[in-house]
Structure 1
């Protein structure tokens, strides 16, 4: 992050734990290595709650207020929602923030992104001073993208010809460098 005030150099790490679902004996797949939580196999859930912990090993930049605060921002483009959840500083570690995230199934579709924004005061004004590595929350898995190899094999078996481009008929496209010159390929300017 580059701001004209002091910020943390690296991204904060987030951990998800204490996951509780409204369905009994069901836990979503949480992969801390790839920063991904999958709710696709959970079933017909309605509410989910978990604790998000954001932390860094960096020292607090000089000039900032001692107290750090923040929020976790849950964004889902499919449902056009952005929900903030407060994060509070822990007493044991000043560079660790924690908060509870409560999600309703009606708020999410497809995939969502969860990121922690860290704030502190600089010269009396609240400022964003850090950001975490974003987590992906998969609610409904989408179709896998087609690989180029599978596209080529499909086109070999098809009887229709590929679409032609205007320059594929023996005439190369002309790059017009100047609109005032009589010859577009040779600019006199």
Structure 2
């Protein structure tokens, strides 16, 4: 079920026919995503499904993706597993045509420019990057919350004590 160099030859025809493309790719195979991944997450599978859809005279791609990426926790800097599930509906707009305005009557889709040989992995990676948490963190983190008790464990507090003891010995 793997299409590592997948492209859709004619995305408008793909959508008109209601065709389906499903695959599973290692997370480390996405170059822009790989920069953010921890080594433990590079082999995790990104499962995606693209289904064509036609409504009136418009063509859409419905993209579903599911994975669990391993990123760096913003609090403790350790590895944190972040589940990602995304469901997007993309309106296909021919290259050179203007994208519809943001204030469309329907807002259940995002317009994208599409041309022959649409790069599926780039499309999946774009949606995946948009779905990542801005500041990944553990629910319960080992790093302290910064309360009064935490000053005692702080390396700066220890330096302060050392400085005070040196000042009193002088």
Calculate the TM-score normalised by the size of structure 1.
0.29
The higher radius of gyration belongs to 1
Specify which structure has the higher proportion of helix.
Answer: 2
